[in-house]
Structure formats: C-alpha cells, structure tokens
Amino acid sequence: MSGPGYLFLGDEEKALVHQALDEWHLNRYRFDEAAGPSMVYALEREFEQRTGARHCLAVNSCTSALLTALVALGVGPGDEVIVPGYTFIASIAAIVHRGAVPVLAEIDESLTLDPADVARRITPATKAIVAVHMLGAPADMGELRRIADEHGLLLIEDAAQACGGRHQGRALGTIGDAGAFSLNLFKIITSGDGGLLTLADDTAYERAFAFHDHGFKPLRQGIADADSLFGMNLRMHELSGAVALGQLRKIDDILGVLRKQKTAFLEAIGELPGVTRRRINDPDGECFSFLVLQFETVEAARAVAERLGTSTLIDSGRHYYGNMPQLLARRTPTPSEHPFASSDRRYEANMLPRTDEILGRSIALSVGVVDAYLGSGVGINPLSSPDEIAAAARAVQSAVDEVVAMK
C-alpha cells in the first residue's frame, strides 16, 4: 500500500539525509551563514524551476498548504468557496478552518469539477474555487480559469494527487492563484509527510510565509508587521526536505515509468463490453497513476468490483462527500468552524446526484497508487512485470465477462 514515489526511494535520498545528519542540520534555517542553503530551501527553488511557479513554500502537509493558501489569498469568515463533492476531506477542512463556507459542486466524467455546475453555484458571497486534480489527472483548468476571471474569483489548485501533471503545457499548481501538493506516502513523490505550496503573487507569498512561520518575512528577514499576522508553525523539517529533494530529482523517471505501465495495462485489457474509460482533460498532462473504468450502470460496476475484491469510487473513504460525517452532521463547532456550522447552507446525502451516479459506476485500478481507502487496492504498480500486468488484465476481463454473461 503506497504511492509510486515510495517504490523509488533509494541511495539518492539516503545521501541527502546523511548529508543533513553529518552536519546536524535539522531545521530549514541556516543560522550559520557559512553553512550554505538548506535542503528545504533547495527543494523550494528547484520546484519553482521545474514548474515555472513564481514562488514555492515547503510546509508540513498538503492540508497546511491549502490552509496557508486560503490565508495568503484573503479567504476568511463567511466567504463561500466552491469545491467538488469528490475530493479528500482536507480540501473541505481547510476551508472550514478559515471560517469560510464550502459550497459543494458536481463533478463530470473526468471525476473533476464540472465547470458548468461551478458557474451555477456562484453567488455574491463566492470568493474562490478549489479545483481538485483527482486521481492524477487535471481538472478543466482552461474553463475554470475563464469562469474565475469572469466573476473576479480566486482559483486554487489542489494538486495533492497530481504532482508533475500538466494542463495544456502548464504545470498543475501554476494555472490558478495558488497550488497545493502532497508528499505523503501515497503520492507521486514522497517524503513520508509534507506539502508544497505554489503562489503567483509576491504579496501572497509574503503572507503565506508569515502564516507558516510565526509572522516572519520570507527566510526570516524581519517581521511581517504589515498585516499583523499571527502566524503558526507549519514548517517542513530538514530531513523531510532532503527526502523530498531526492524524489523531485527523480520525478521525470517516475512519471515515465507510470506512463509506460499504464499504456501496457490498457493494451493488455483492450476493449471491454459496456465499459468506457474516464475522460482525461489533457491526456498528455495526466500522471498515469490510475486507470478508471466507467460502467453503464451502478449495478454492473458493483458486480465487477466485488469479483475483483475492490469497491466503486462512491465507497472510497473520506474522498466522497457522503462519507464525511464532519460535513453532514451538525454539532457544537470549534471557534474556527463557527461561521461554517452556523450558516444557512445544509449538507446531506444525495445532494449531488450526478456525482453520486458517476462515482457509483466507476472503478479505479492502481497503476502507481495502491490504496484500498482511495478505491485503488487492485491493479498493478510501477514495478509490475509484463507477466503480472497480463495477469491483472485477465482478472479485469474475466470479471467483466462474468457480469456481462449474467445479463
């Protein structure tokens, strides 16, 4: 159970960690000017260079990156933020902890935000849109950027599952006003835990840095007094930075292997009766970490999933809004949650019928991310041999054939 980055951990990451340990540099800062730049600093600069982002900030998780993005961009109490009903709960939790109000929107066949439904849900209180690049593939960023610009809204990219992905030639995380990435165990590259935040605006970056480190200006060059920000401590540890830096330097190799493995898996499976493949908004820009099969009916999808020993995406843990009791249940809120809990907006099961229907008839097969909680507990992995890929394909074919024969 892991993401592709974990399987590529090796001597390069060890060397960087040992370098930090040999010098006893465990914090992102170098208080001795002769010590040179930290691993975390190098990670940020190399990520900027790779993606073309103006600014990158390393933090301790993608959840922290999302929360920091909202703070940096000025999203606060009472603001409405549109977010898909299919996303990990962290996307919604970050909004709630800013005192903002999540507005759930439908997904389309790409399993990402449906731009038309986003447009329908905009109100005078709407402040931002969070586009989530689910299962390693980009949302329709061209249309979402157009809608955000037309209505004067912020656009934030949750690229937790799509580090290294692109849309129309641009790196994911650089098309919106901010982009958040995860480095946990199940992601394209990993440091165990950790996150990265990209920002397009200088002032937003200064606010983000201040929030992630007790109100300091970037690299602790003074106190960020302009906004009187009460910052927190969301810094990335230097050893996490060392591992992440080693992984970032391998990301092209990792994505290349994933593309090769998914292509082989698709060819081995071939065409299946009554089955289509998830629409990808930019086929060249996906991370190739999942293969999603979509069936004509919910019943057929469930029957195939049962034979494969997996589940449909509607049962994928805290990635489906209907499996988030924190969202659906009303309870005594914490102070930061109060505007959300006291708003007139209500959340209930089956409130997004199109999302329910699409997830109910979709199955995700692993290519790089083997994670039953996400719904991709079966399939292949980056190290699967041709024989293993062929066996996994035969299992899928057999399951579909059995269900078709029962009709």
Pick the CATH number of 252-406 from 1.20.272.10, 2.60.120.10, 3.40.50.1370, 3.90.1150.10: 3.90.1150.10
CATH class (in words) of the domain with range 4-251 = alpha beta
| Average predicted confidence (pLDDT) for the chain | 94
Domain locations along the chain: 4-251, 252-406
| Dihedral angle sign, alpha carbons of residues 285, 286, 288, 293 | negative
Please report, for residues 140, 165, 287, the alpha-carbon distance to residue 169 in angstroms, rounded to integers and kept in the order given: 13, 9, 13
What pLDDT does residue 221 have? 64
- Measured in whole angstroms, the distance separating CA 109 from the mean position of its chain's CA atoms is 18
Q: What is the average per-residue pLDDT within 194-214?
A: 95
pLDDT of 37 above 60? yes
Q: What is the average per-residue pLDDT within 1-12?
A: 95
Q: Kindly report the CA angle at 164 between 163 and 169, in degrees rounded to 5?
A: 130
Q: Name beta bridge partners: 295.
A: 275
What pLDDT does residue 335 have? 63
Q: What is the average per-residue pLDDT within 310-320?
A: 95
Confidence of residue 85 (pLDDT cuts 50, 70, 90): very high
What pLDDT does residue 228 have? 63
What pLDDT does residue 1 have? 79
- pLDDT 10s digits, 119-178: 999 999 999 999 999 999 999 999 999 999 999 999 999 999 999 999 999 999 999 999
pLDDT of 288 above 90? yes
What are the residues whose beta carbons fall under 8 Å from the beta carbon of 375, sequence distance 6 or more? 310, 311, 312, 313, 315, 316, 317, 319, 363, 364
What pLDDT does residue 337 have? 63
- Distance CA(186)–CA(93), nearest Å, equals 20
The pTM is what?
Answer: 0.95
- Distance CA(259)–CA(255), nearest Å, equals 6
- pLDDT 10s digits, 209-228: 999 999 888 877 655 555 66
Q: What is the average per-residue pLDDT within 314-322?
A: 94
- How many C-beta atoms surround the C-beta of residue 87 within 10 A? 28
pLDDT of 250 above 60? yes
- pLDDT 10s digits, 333-354: 666 666 676 677 889 989 999 9
What pLDDT does residue 381 have? 97
Higher pLDDT, 311 or 330: 311
Confidence of residue 330 (pLDDT cuts 50, 70, 90): low
What are the residues whose beta carbons fall under 8 Å from the beta carbon of 340, sequence distance 6 or more? 95, 96, 99, 100, 101, 102, 333
What pLDDT does residue 338 have? 62
- Distance CA(291)–CA(364), nearest Å, equals 6
